[in-house]
Structure 1
Amino acid sequence: MSEAIKHECGIALIRLLKPLSFYQQKYGTALYGLNKLYLLMEKQHNRGQDGAGIATIKLDVTPGNRYISRYRAMGSNAVSEIFEYVQKKFADIQHTPELFENTEWLKEHVSFTGEVLMGHLRYGTHGKNSIENCHPFLRQNNWMSRNLVIAGNFNMTNVDELLEQLFELGQHPKERADTVTVLEKIGHFLDAENQFLFDNFKAEGFSNAEISRLISDNLDVAKILRRSAKTWDGGYTIEGIFGHGDAFVMRDPSGIRPAYYYYDDEIVVVTSERPAIQTAFNVAFDAIKEIKPGHALIIKKNGEISEEQFKEPEEHKSCSFERIYFSRGSDAAIYGERKQLGRLLCPQILEAVNYDFKNTVFSFIPNTAEVAFYGMVDGLHKHIKKYQRDTLLNRADKISDTELEEMLSLEPRVEKIAIKDVKLRTFITQDADRQDMVSHVYDTTYGIINSGQDNLVVIDDSIVRGTTLKQSILRILDRLGPKKIVVVSSAPQIRYPDCYGIDMSRMGEFVAFEAAISLLKESGREHIIWETYEKCQASLEMNKEDVENYIKAIYDPFTDEEIAAKIAQIISPKNVKAEIKVIYQTLDNLHKACPAHLGDWYFSGNYPTPGGNKVVNRAFMNWVEGKNQRAYV
């Protein structure tokens, strides 16, 4: 993607089902779990560049010994920093086999040698990035079964409502953030379940020490999660560990955020992306499952594994942006879907260049649009074969050798035109100088385009703001002298904010919104802006279940093609010589390419939860009122 979109986040959970001595004997190391956790996090590094964290819990530790270890770090090298820190814990003994291979000694004396391991990769949003914002979060208590560690890939849309519920319980949260509300909500019902069990076992005459063990054995994890998530509105995959060793990963009822898992008799593992598990554990594609929407994968301390419903599943609306851009394309299903996105764009592309293969060069914006580009090329070859067959079969007269040779030699001109240069540091503070530096982030391959004669088609994942196209890419492509530049987006027009984990929350940042507003003003329909604003204001007094997405009215008067044409005008740099055209994927074709991942609210405005409609209306009001802030906490 030419304009990187941040998103939250990546998770990894490992539960070792055997004693540490088993892994020492079979794999030659008691650090098997830590090594695998490192692999899982590195293989998902694309999901977090702002920070990371890990936590481990040791099972059956005698009282008086620490059993929870946690370490967090900030920055793009956070994963390496974390595991270097952990490695130092073993530095003094790694050359002393009698200690380094003694799993009982390690567990008693060295931190991070636990059987339950959690990892998290973080992308921060809107400047909120500090070590306190890095997961995992810890809620501590002297009762082992009341300790809670959580991390997740989530955003809640109704944080104010959730905070009010915590106030009513008598709590005093230290900040207004969804991470705090989730931690304290689960923590509250964890405490309640502990107290319920304690009272029951106490009435039966058990001692306090006996009760602690009985609580660990009988804690109803699904019940705690059902009570905790009752009023949550958002997209989430949340992993958690209780201090005594029960673990869970829960997925929102619409399946918005991804969660994959695998288990055998040695290990349970959960991640945000399937290929991480495939690579780290060398398991087949079809051995890995998805946690069902509204369900939690629960791993009890005794090793019992179950997938239990904690909330009624809604219509499945898993995030299509995961398929288009976020998740690595090494997933077999995602790779196929991205290729299909490229293929389905071929009719629009060919119409835009008047089917002129001889004078058109096809390329892509590096690097994540490459797979869609391969699909586009497949589609172009398929079109040519059909054209050749139809022409030769239906031709009445005899074809000459020259014509036949020309017909059979027809193929798309495929080239790598744009090259993403090394990351240039824009250390000059003046805006003009900084913009000039940004314009050199990409370079081009010269000598391929016939100046004034060739069309140039370049495909990108999506077009969000259009600023990189305007300030950099289109300028450098225009230097090559094409008569026409066709910019193709493998995603539909991004029209609405996301509120479930992607850093797209301010209306004014979407070039499609800018185009629609310009068209309204130019066509004398500016009143629609104010009518929409009044509806948004009135909705503040409504129940969230009754609120609609009123911002659809901004786009309704115009066709997709009219908005795309206006976008082409907006992103065209001054003094550009080539004609600029912009083509977007259609919603219908998006759904054809990704039939199992129909979450498309940022394109369609059809939010899967009531809170989404509240957020989009608030985002529009912020834009009208000139407030440069996101519409949710």
Structure 2
Amino acid sequence: MSDLRHECGIAAIYHLPSAEPSRLCPQQGPEAISRLMPRMLLDIQNRGQLSAGMTSYSPTRSQIIDTYRELGSVAEVFRLSHRGKAEALMQQYEGRAAIGHVRYATCGEEDRSYAQPFERHHLQKRKWFSFGFNGQLANYAELRQALLADDDHHLARTTDTEIMMHEISREMSGELRPSLVEIMHNVSQKFDGAYSVALVNALGEMMVARDPLGIKPVSYAIEGPLFAAASESVALLNLGFEPANIHSLEPGTMVTIVDNEIKIERFADSPRRAHCFFEWIYFANVASNIDDRSVYLSRKTLGEELAKLETIPIDEDTIVVPVPDTSKGAADAMAYQLGVPSVEGLIRNRYSGRTFIEGGAGRKDKAAAKYTPLREVLEGKRILLVEDSIVRSTTMRVLIDKIREVGHAREIHVRVACPPIIAPCFYGIDMSTISELFAPEFMTPGREPEAAYTDMARELGADSLRYLPLESIARAVNRPQSDLCQACITGEYPTDAGQKLYDIAVTNDASGTNIRAYESAEAQV
């Protein structure tokens, strides 16, 4: 899974005026609560390693809201390995409120101008705001074309974050003063896709909002005068919030802080749910809870589901080996159910650096450098190799080769704690074309899965291959299938624009046109 990336993660924190500061407040006091933002971003670093940033609010500064963002990991951006430089940054950006962001690009370039939060200056305080965004707008092409149709408008970047910024700005224009709820209600009528948003303006108002389908997760906590929110609950737990005070934000709702009052309000109808199942399978920190379901327990259940399906003979030389790191929960549970050891036969090099999306040999070389097989553990063994998912298959091919050549394994049986991925994602996961996916070539309509798995195993160089069936996901997540977005494993999308992009992707694949559906959609608008 090293060749698959999420788009980003958001965080927010606010210390309201109070006679008694929160017990979680930094030593410098409530006016320096922004100092906690790098710590929060570290806990959601798994969601993006390309860039990081924060905007803080302090009414006593000339720059009432001020934004700092750079390319790099959280530790690199905030200079956490250099006490003096880190302290200087924290002093410069001290404030009673802050929003933060980590990013990995699924659209847009890898340069600093695409790093978030995005800040829009304005003479009027209510129109001077900064925001961060997690997700992807499936109707990006239509929104972009609509903005550019006006000759007075210009877009400097190829990213839906800028589209969102302009749409929010447009709602703020004029002499009327719409509330934050009204602004989100109006823009939500235009947006088709997945989004969670954190925003702060120069009036000291803040909002954190979640899309009406709940595709992207958001958790929040309130204790006394302190409010915090993040893409994952682990960031709040590690700040010291009591677990009972940490909640998932409901789809179509938002938390607002206006005039020093915290409210939870609905900005859009939410007739159905479409939570991204991949959050539990892979993306989220294993210590998080997503929509009241433990990520760890979900992965543990996936392993139990794999064990129920196992048919190979079990002997004293059979072992389970997880692909580090997120498949470990499933692998351990599978091994326990089968009564065989779960061992670390693959060691991940945690210091090999960030892995960016690279084509061809570049990605293969990155994968090869990341894992070292332990011959002492693998030699002569029948291995059940457990992985979260197979997307492009680059990593799996490399691992199987290395386990055979370096580890001298006797047999390698790949077990995937997810159904085959057959369709692109248009909601914020970096897999945009059908041709880049491994499974679609084999999973043709009407073909028996077992026959497809046999051919896939042969292509990978494995002795056998097995995926979980679709119904296993709902059992593991403990939610009905109707509450989940499973478009990448079914080809059925929860929004109209997503389904339209998939139809374009299918047409492109049939014609051998290997371009992103977004690009084709822009050409058609």
Does the CA-based 8 Å contact 1:257-1:318 persist in structure 2?
yes
1:484 counterpart residue number:
411
Look up the equivalent residue of 2:447 and give its one-letter code: F
Q: CA–CA distance in 2 between the matches of 1:26 and 1:160?
A: 43
Matches within 5 A, 1:8-47: 8-18=7-17, 22=21, 28-30=27-29, 32-47=32-47
2:322 counterpart residue number:
364
Shift of 1:164: 3.6
Look up the equivalent residue of 2:424 and give its one-letter code: P
Shift of 1:433: 10
Q: CA–CA distance in 2 between the matches of 1:28 and 1:146?
A: 32
Deviations 1:511-559 (A, max 9, x none): 101323xxxxxxxxxxxxxxxxxxxxxxxxxxxxxxxxxxxxxx32113
Specify the SS of the correspondent of 1:261: strand
Q: CA–CA distance in 1 between the matches of 2:513 and 2:445?
A: 25
Deviations 1:93-130 (A, max 9, x none): x9xxxxxxxxxxxxxxx742322201100001367211
Shift of 1:488: 0.6
State whether structure 2 residue 343 is matched by structure 1 residue 415: yes
1:272 counterpart residue number:
231
Look up the equivalent residue of 2:304 and give its one-letter code: R
Q: 2:166 aligns with which of 175, 184, 192?
A: 184
1:463 counterpart residue number:
390
Q: CA–CA distance in 2 between the matches of 1:179 and 1:156?
A: 9
* Number of aligned residue pairs: 507
Look up the equivalent residue of 1:502 and give its one-letter code: I
Q: CA–CA distance in 1 between the matches of 2:23 and 2:299?
A: 42
2:272 counterpart residue number:
315
Shift of 1:458: 1.1
2:193 counterpart residue number:
234
Does the CA-based 8 Å contact 1:344-1:379 persist in structure 2?
no
Specify the SS of the correspondent of 1:113: coil
Shift of 1:19: 6.0
State whether structure 2 residue 165 is matched by structure 1 residue 160: no
Q: CA–CA distance in 2 between the matches of 1:465 and 1:236?
A: 25
- Where is the strand percentage greater, Structure 1 or Structure 2? 2
Shift of 1:42: 1.1
Look up the equivalent residue of 2:494 and give its one-letter code: P
2:241 counterpart residue number:
283
1:203 counterpart residue number:
none
Q: CA–CA distance in 2 between the matches of 1:190 and 1:49?
A: 32
- Kindly tell me: are residues 20 and 490 of structure 1, through their superposed partners in 2, closer, same or farther at Cα, counting changes over 3 Å? farther
2:373 counterpart residue number:
444
1:539 counterpart residue number:
none
Q: 1:70 aligns with which of 64, 67, 72?
A: 67
1:557 counterpart residue number:
446
2:176 counterpart residue number:
196
Look up the equivalent residue of 1:53 and give its one-letter code: G
- Kindly tell me: are residues 170 and 488 of structure 1, through their superposed partners in 2, closer, same or farther at Cα, counting changes over 3 Å? same
Structure 1 window deviating more from structure 2 (336-345 vs 29-38): it is 29-38
Shift of 1:434: 9.0
Deviations 1:270-309 (A, max 9, x none): 10010110011x2233321111111111111x22122222
- Kindly tell me: are residues 13 and 87 of structure 1, through their superposed partners in 2, closer, same or farther at Cα, counting changes over 3 Å? farther
Specify the SS of the correspondent of 1:49: coil
Q: CA–CA distance in 1 between the matches of 2:86 and 2:241?
A: 31
1:244 counterpart residue number:
203
Look up the equivalent residue of 2:330 and give its one-letter code: A
1:623 counterpart residue number:
509
Specify the SS of the correspondent of 2:68: strand
Matches within 5 A, 1:82-97: 91=88
State whether structure 2 residue 320 is matched by structure 1 residue 341: no
Does the CA-based 8 Å contact 1:145-1:243 persist in structure 2?
yes
Q: CA–CA distance in 1 between the matches of 2:195 and 2:136?
A: 6
Specify the SS of the correspondent of 2:238: helix
Deviations 1:229-250 (A, max 9, x none): 2121000101112221111111
Look up the equivalent residue of 2:375 and give its one-letter code: Y
- Kindly tell me: are residues 118 and 455 of structure 1, through their superposed partners in 2, closer, same or farther at Cα, counting changes over 3 Å? same
- Kindly tell me: are residues 134 and 511 of structure 1, through their superposed partners in 2, closer, same or farther at Cα, counting changes over 3 Å? same
Q: CA–CA distance in 2 between the matches of 1:36 and 1:25?
A: 9
Does the CA-based 8 Å contact 1:23-1:32 persist in structure 2?
no
Look up the equivalent residue of 2:495 and give its one-letter code: T
Q: 1:614 aligns with which of 495, 500, 514?
A: 500
Look up the equivalent residue of 1:414 and give its one-letter code: S
Specify the SS of the correspondent of 1:227: helix
2:523 counterpart residue number:
none
- Kindly tell me: are residues 610 and 169 of structure 1, through their superposed partners in 2, closer, same or farther at Cα, counting changes over 3 Å? same
1:569 counterpart residue number:
458
Please report the TM-score for the alignment, with normalisation by the length of structure 1: 0.74
Q: CA–CA distance in 1 between the matches of 2:359 and 2:429?
A: 30
Look up the equivalent residue of 1:233 and give its one-letter code: D
Specify the SS of the correspondent of 2:217: coil
Q: CA–CA distance in 2 between the matches of 1:25 and 1:608?
A: 39
Specify the SS of the correspondent of 1:337: helix
Look up the equivalent residue of 1:28 and give its one-letter code: Q
Does the CA-based 8 Å contact 1:20-1:115 persist in structure 2?
no
Q: CA–CA distance in 2 between the matches of 1:629 and 1:430?
A: 14
Q: CA–CA distance in 1 between the matches of 2:509 and 2:271?
A: 31
Does the CA-based 8 Å contact 1:444-1:477 persist in structure 2?
no
Shift of 1:70: 0.8
Q: 1:584 aligns with which of 467, 472, 487?
A: 467
Q: CA–CA distance in 2 between the matches of 1:82 and 1:441?
A: 25
Q: 2:132 aligns with which of 146, 151, 154?
A: 151
Q: CA–CA distance in 2 between the matches of 1:291 and 1:466?
A: 35
Look up the equivalent residue of 1:129 and give its one-letter code: E
Please report the TM-score for the alignment, with normalisation by the length of structure 2: 0.88
Does the CA-based 8 Å contact 1:33-1:115 persist in structure 2?
yes
- Kindly tell me: are residues 39 and 233 of structure 1, through their superposed partners in 2, closer, same or farther at Cα, counting changes over 3 Å? same
- Kindly tell me: are residues 436 and 130 of structure 1, through their superposed partners in 2, closer, same or farther at Cα, counting changes over 3 Å? closer
Shift of 1:85: 10
State whether structure 2 residue 478 is matched by structure 1 residue 595: yes
Deviations 1:158-183 (A, max 9, x none): 11221243346665132443112110
Look up the equivalent residue of 2:249 and give its one-letter code: I
- Kindly tell me: are residues 472 and 24 of structure 1, through their superposed partners in 2, closer, same or farther at Cα, counting changes over 3 Å? closer
Matches within 5 A, 1:325-340: 325-331=282-288, 333-340=294-301
Q: CA–CA distance in 1 between the matches of 2:434 and 2:359?
A: 26
Look up the equivalent residue of 1:375 and give its one-letter code: A
Specify the SS of the correspondent of 1:118: strand
Shift of 1:489: 0.7
Instruction: From the CA coordinates, give the structure whose radius of gyration is larger.
Output: 1
1:534 counterpart residue number:
none
- Kindly tell me: are residues 90 and 475 of structure 1, through their superposed partners in 2, closer, same or farther at Cα, counting changes over 3 Å? closer
Look up the equivalent residue of 1:343 and give its one-letter code: E
Q: 2:433 aligns with which of 476, 493, 506?
A: 506
Look up the equivalent residue of 1:305 and give its one-letter code: I
Look up the equivalent residue of 1:338 and give its one-letter code: R
Does the CA-based 8 Å contact 2:373-2:402 persist in structure 1?
no
Shift of 1:423: 5.3
Look up the equivalent residue of 2:106 and give its one-letter code: T
1:391 counterpart residue number:
none
Matches within 5 A, 1:399-414: 412-414=340-342
Shift of 1:566: 2.0
- Kindly tell me: are residues 117 and 338 of structure 1, through their superposed partners in 2, closer, same or farther at Cα, counting changes over 3 Å? same
Does the CA-based 8 Å contact 2:167-2:187 persist in structure 1?
yes
2:182 counterpart residue number:
223
Q: CA–CA distance in 1 between the matches of 2:130 and 2:214?
A: 22
Q: CA–CA distance in 2 between the matches of 1:309 and 1:25?
A: 28
2:522 counterpart residue number:
none
Specify the SS of the correspondent of 1:15: strand
Specify the SS of the correspondent of 1:509: coil
- Kindly tell me: are residues 599 and 433 of structure 1, through their superposed partners in 2, closer, same or farther at Cα, counting changes over 3 Å? closer
